[in-house]
Amino acid sequence: MAEVKVKAKPELIQIDGSQGEGGGQMLRTSLALSIFLMKPFEMINIRANRPNPGIQAQHLKAIEASSVISNAIVEGAIIKSNWVRFFPVEIKHGNFKFDIGTAGSTSLVLQTIYLPLSFATGTSNLTITGGTHVSWSPTFDYIKNCWIYFMKRIGLKIDVELKRAGFYPHGGGEIKAVINPVREINPLNLIERGELLGIQVYSAHTNLTDEVAKRQAKAAEKILKNYGKVEVIIDELDSYSKNTTIAITGIFENSVCCYTNLGEKGKRAEFVAEEACEKFLKFLSSDSAVDEYMADQILLPLSLAPEVSEFTTPRLTNHLKTNIDVIKKFVDVEFEIAEFKNSYKIKVKPTKVG
């Protein structure tokens, strides 16, 4: 009788979701690397330290989107679940539509699946519905003005478009993204940002009046005019909500940065602008080339680049430190962090992929 060979179940990478920063980013990074490397994982204690622990709507949609593009076998993926197991099979390209169903962040779903889709065999067209301008996540303006800049700089071919803005609590926003395949990621060497060439103030409202957006922009322009040439853009966005948003983008010789803020009921437009400007000026006072939010977001693709990357950032966030820990669970990569002038220099040294 012939011997029957039983295929061994792949070993699961084990991740404790309560460690470090302990948020949803651990899950998103794990999903992206799991698909890219075809390495299954198990995560326990998902978001254990959050007021509403476990998987919430936007995390569930990130899992579902990841499953769709990889034909994955998934266990434990339900609302409020504190664990999940994920077994990817392949990387698919195509036309995908994902509806979060709440004001959960569309940007974070995009940031979960862009990396594996960039290495599929064909182009993918994404439509993601939910929140486009919500707290605790990159607004669409940040994605467009800063994240896309860095993605293209490291060789990825991604374009985004806002069809409708989505704010909390109504959601209903819609973004579209086109992701074309690439063969490898370029390293990033960005120590000096160079001179400030200009500042863009983007001030928009939804279902209010242009006057509100103009007041918001005028307050920002007044604060920033002594630091460089200021370009002001006033906009009205289609949305189911009433709100304002502002994005302060700095264009440097070698880099860009973007700091954003959202309106709130009862908060004056001038104060919304002042808060955004304060964050921008704090970055300007450092010698850094990459803002603290982009710093942790760029670590994921750079860990898969074939060569060493190096950049400076103003501070080390808990997101960054935790992302390093999660990446090292999947990838043989070293991270070196050193103080540099009034910033931090981060070196990413991939040693082996897969």
Alpha-carbon radius of gyration of the chain: 21
- Of 93, 133, 205, 319, catalytic: 319
Q: What strands lie across the sheet with 230-236, from one edge to the other?
A: 230-236, 196-206, 243-252, 256-262
Q: What percent of the chain has pLDDT over 90?
A: 91
State residue 351's pLDDT score. 80
Please state the rounded mean pLDDT for residues 24-51. 94
pLDDT of 2 above 50: no
The residue type at 328: K
State residue 23's pLDDT score. 82
Beta bridge partners of 128: 98, 175
Q: What strands lie across the sheet with 309-313, from one edge to the other?
A: 189-190, 309-313, 343-352, 332-340
Query: Mean pLDDT over all residues of the chain?
Result: 94
Please state the rounded mean pLDDT for residues 18-32. 90
Q: Of residues 50 and 2, which shows the higher confidence score?
A: 50
Does the CA dihedral 20-43-327-52 come out positive or negative? negative
Q: What angle do CA 275, 107, 174 make, to 5 degrees?
A: 105
pLDDT of 50 above 90: no
Q: Are 189 and 309 in contact (CB under 8 A)?
A: yes
- The pLDDT confidence band at residue 48, using thresholds 50, 70 and 90, is confident
pLDDT of 9 above 70: no
State residue 170's pLDDT score. 95
Q: What does the pLDDT look like over 187-240, one tens digit per residue? A: 999 999 999 999 999 999 999 999 999 999 999 999 999 999 999 999 999 999
H or E element: which one contains 27? Answer: helix 24-37
Known catalytic residue at 133: no
118 vs 123: CA distance, rounded Å:
8
- Structural domains of the chain in order of their starting residue, each with its CATH number: 10-90 (3.30.110), 93-183 (3.65.10.20), 193-284 (3.30.360.20), 287-354 (3.30.110)
pLDDT of 72 above 80: yes
pLDDT of 353 above 90: no
Task: Cis check for the bond before 350: say yes or no (omega within 30 of 0).
Answer: no
Q: What does the pLDDT look like over 316-336, one tens digit per residue? A: 999 999 999 999 999 999 999
